[in-house]
Structure 1
Amino acid sequence: MRINVLQHTPNEGPGSILDWAQARGHQTFVYHPYQFGHLPTADQTDLLVILGGPMSPNDDLSWIKQERVLIQQLLEQGKPMFGACYGAQQITKTLGYPVSKAPAKEVGWAPVYRQSKIIPGLPEKLLALHWHEEMFEVPKEADWLFSSDAVKNQGFVMNHRIVGLQFHFEPQADNVREMVVNDFPYIKGSVLDQSVDDILNTPVPKENKQTMFKILDYITEII
């Protein structure tokens, strides 16, 4: 399987998604469209991973619009996709749903609560890393998957092929440090009221990587 990853800022990489790909024997190709402007084609893509970033799907940038062309093609072909934060928003925007300001800016660690049992084996509650102030609308075509105390729309699953999460399960300890040391000014104004040290000193739960594996296994399962 060829996994194409769309990365949108240097400090938000694929994290444990790479571990999953290596464990399952897949090849991973990481694209940086914000810098180089290149995207894979739908025919080159067996699984598309769309990562987070500081931009918004509402921004008037040509490469953001081109990403949605690719997403639409993959939707039509029934190929699996996983979106984190901005990536999940891009999927819902492609489906015709709005991306808007969330009721609260969430930056830091906070619990998320499972709302559907459609993906087997997911825990009822997990501690996730949040880094956002916009949110998607859960598509009518999808099942609501996660919520948090501050923002209801935190995750969705659609057609056994697509999962979008407003938060992050993929970062490991090194990834969290990279996010924080480079983007620490963004922490200001978060409803979670956590300091740089609070975020850095919170261990990444081992369940997050396990959950990431279960989600990716689910959307790539032969059905």
Structure 2
Amino acid sequence: MRSPPEPPERRLPVLVVLHQEHSTPGRVGRLLIERGYALDVRKPRYGDPLPKTLADHAGAVIFGGPMSANDGDDFIRTEIEWIGVPLKERKPFLGLCLGAQMLTRHLGGRVEAHPEGRAEIGYYALHPTPAGERFAAETGAFWPSHVYQWHREGLDCPAGAELLAQGDDFPVQAIRVGPAAFGFQFHPEVTHAMVYRWTTRGAERLEMPGAQPPAMHHRGRFMHDAAVAAWLHAFLDHWLAAGSGKPPRSVRPLCTP
């Protein structure tokens, strides 16, 4: 008679911070669930509290939104300040677009509009730095050539962070802080349905200088999304392991003056 299967390893949930009533964590959320992690979804904008510690969470992801990290709303200030929790506890933290800009603001960096008023809305080239190439070789998370963007403000690389990837109009695209905190200006979480929804509901933003028309969004997805998905699978495995207590790899603070 066959022995019963071993019970699955108990995994702590991942904290997911969203900023709109109908926002979803997209592909990032699905891949975390597939790896056995429940999602603890919170929306501070609508009154949800953030935990005082991540002892009961495997990590945290702050997603994007139409607001600015420079806004004076209470929930914006609360989230920026709260990022100190995962940094202090060295727990996996991931900031996507607005979340990356909040990470930058927490570290004393700047979030600003493009000097010529340009936006990145669509698929744009991504250029790994030498540190980013090393990161890819160490983790197997090989950077895609193009990534999906939806923003009109960009971040700088704050002191103490490591610059992993750059762009053309907005130079800072990916940063790492310590062994387990990352900020990406781009949106690896987008699904096919999300691209349709964003280009429909946010159609007025497609008129901004630098933004791409809807057809280029859909064509870009068919051209580039397979590489983005492969990178995201490998990145999430590394990111989750970064909080497992294993010795961290050395981090070169390339953004420190």
TM over 0.5: yes
Q: Does 1:110 align with 2:147?
A: no
Say yes or no: does 1:2 pair with 2:13: yes
Q: Is it true that 1:199 corresponds to 2:217 in the alignment?
A: yes
* Counterpart contact for 1:187–1:195, Cα < 8 Å: yes
Deviation of residue 212 (structure 1)? 1.7
Label 1:142 to 1:211 Cα distance change in 2 as closer, same or farther (>3 A). same
1:183 paired residue number: 202
Normalising by the residue count of structure 2, what TM-score does the alignment of the two structures yield? 0.79
Structure 2 distance, partners of 1:29, 1:180, is 28
Judging changes above 3 Å, is the alpha-carbon distance between structure 1 residues 56 and 195 closer, same or farther for their aligned structure 2 residues?
Answer: same
Give 1 or 2 for the bigger CA radius of gyration: 2
Does residue 1:209 correspond to 2:229, yes or no?
yes
1:85–1:165: 8 Å Cα contact kept in structure 2?
Answer: yes
Alpha-carbon distance in 2 for matches of 1:26, 1:114: 29
Q: CA deviation at 1:206?
A: 1.3
Which residue of the other structure, out of 38, 47, 62, is the alignment partner of 1:37?
47
Instruction: Find 2:66's aligned residue among 54, 57, 66.
Output: 54
Q: Contact 1:107 / 1:190 at 8 angstroms: preserved in 2?
A: no
Please tell me whether the aligned partners of residues 31 and 38 of structure 1 are also in contact (alpha carbons under 8 angstroms). Answer: yes
Measure the CA separation in 1 of the matches of 2:199 and 2:86.
33
Q: How far off is 1:88 after superposition?
A: 0.2
For structure 1, the 5+ residue unaligned runs are none
1:16 match: 27
Contact 1:12 1:52 in 2 (8 A): no
Amino acid at match of 1:40: L
Q: Matches of residues 130-149 of structure 1 in structure 2 within 5 Å?
A: 130-149=149-168
CA contact (8 A) 1:160 1:218 kept: no
Given candidates 86, 90, 96, the residue that maps to 1:74 is 86
Partner residue, 2:253: none
Tell me the residue number matched to 1:28.
Answer: 39
Instruction: Say if 1:113 and 1:57 are closer, same or farther in 2 by CA, change over 3 A.
Output: same
Shift of 1:198: 2.4
Structure 2 gaps of 5+ residues are 1-11, 247-257
Partner of 2:255: none
Percentage of matched positions with identical amino acids: 24
Say yes or no: does 1:157 pair with 2:169: no
1:212 partner letter: L
1:14-48 per-residue CA deviation (whole Å, 9 max, x = no partner) reads 211122212211111222222x2213303443311
Given that residues 90 and 179 in structure 2 are in contact (C-alpha distance below 8 angstroms), is that contact kept between their aligned partners in structure 1?
A: no
Could you tell me which amino acid in structure 2 is paired with residue 61 of structure 1? D
Q: Aligned partner of 1:39: which letter?
A: P
* 8 Å Cα contact 2:109/2:159 also seen in 1: no
Which deviates more from structure 2 when the two are superposed, residues 39-48 or residues 147-156?
39-48
CA RMSD of aligned residues (A): 1.8
